[in-house]
Amino acid sequence: MKLVIIGDALVSSATLRDAAKDIDFPGRDESELDVVSYEWYSDLEKEKFQEKILLIEKNGPEAVEIPAGVTEALKDADYLLVHIAPVSKSMLESASKLKLIGTCRGGLEHIALNSVKEKNITLIHVIRNAEPVADFTLSLMYAETRNIARAHHEIKNGKWRKSFSNDEHKTVLANHTVGLIGLGYIGKLVAKRLNALGVRVIAHDPFIDKSLIIKEGLRVELLDMDSVISQSDILSLHMRLTPETENIINKDVFNKMKAGSYIINTARAGMVHKADLIDALKNRRIAGAALDVSWDEPISPDDPLLQLDNVTLTPHIAGDTIDAIPKAPYLLKTVLNDYFKTGHSDMLIIQ
């Protein structure tokens, strides 16, 4: 039985190997596990490595180099574990025995998904920063609806500003209805936090079984998308970016939202039609927006979003905590062991 591991500048192959020691791969008792490790730009400084990540997130796994020797190693590999190293079409073409890919991150831009489906390879991921992103999502709700960030900005610039464009809509969070578009792992964590705060939560996710939500003890009303859009005071996005979800939040959506409503995005910028969002904010069609993701990172100094006084922007840091990434391989270990034991997983993408 052969396992190929590819580490990188954020999650080393040594950490992945350590976590793999306790993964109960099927048949491991009868066969010795041969582990082969590779590194993908592990020697780069964090800032330079982020450039590689952006290339993958924008253009997919074919846009970057793959580790030397890994294609050959995959020819007789049974399992592959990575963080954000590319899993390209050319790599998978050689992987005739590969049964499963495990990746310890939420986004899947680094994986050639069509090739994975064509070869019937099981794909499991973990959202390593789900807790930090859920916390940050709530933070953005408070920051935007109560003008926390912009009030701070004004004070730093010598102004004692106490009046803002959303004054007629300001109220406590518990008076808002929060709509979640996407009720996956992060969406559920956001709902759990909102439940504890006594906030009404509605959601749309065509892939969620209502009985499972009830079983998990979440108080969430599952509605069609139009109902969630029209009833929400705060609309928070928690979908994956796919060809089907690209620009799904557009002019039609903004026209259906309440006049005093807000949109929160800690997922992917591409799900929102940028020009339509800017138009909705400029014309006060909605009260405001809080975005941790941008269409271009870093954001351009002449970006029109920077001229608006009803948007809160952060530089894609929702999941950036000291413990989220280092713990990711061990979270993947737990998820894989659960999958091998039960045959089911919330983190299963392809089977």
- The residues annotated with a catalytic role in the active site are 268, 297, 316
Element containing residue 103 per DSSP (H, E) = strand 100-103
What is the 8-class DSSP label of residue 191?
A: H
How far apart CA 84 and CA 319 sit, in angstroms, is 15
What is the 8-class DSSP label of residue 286?
A: S
| Cβ atoms within 10 Å, residue 259 | 10
**Contact yes or no for 102/124 (Cβ under 8 A):** yes
**What are the two backbone dihedrals, phi and then psi, of residue 108, each rounded to the nearest 5 degrees?**
-120, 20
CA nearest 20: which of 329, 278, 339, 347? 329
**What are the two backbone dihedrals, phi and then psi, of residue 237, each rounded to the nearest 5 degrees?**
-100, 130
Radius of gyration of the chain (CA): 22
How far apart CA 200 and CA 349 sit, in angstroms, is 29
- Which residue carries 């906030």 as its tokens? 199
How far apart CA 87 and CA 113 sit, in angstroms, is 9
Cα-Cα-Cα-Cα dihedral sign, residues 197, 127, 184, 51: positive
Q: What one-character-per-residue DSSP string does 293-338 give?
A: --SSSSPPTT-GGGG-SSEEE--S-TT--TTTTTTHHHHHHHHHHH
Burial class (CB in 10 A: 0-12, 13-18, 19+), 193: middle
DSSP E strands: which ranges in 259-300? 262-265, 288-291
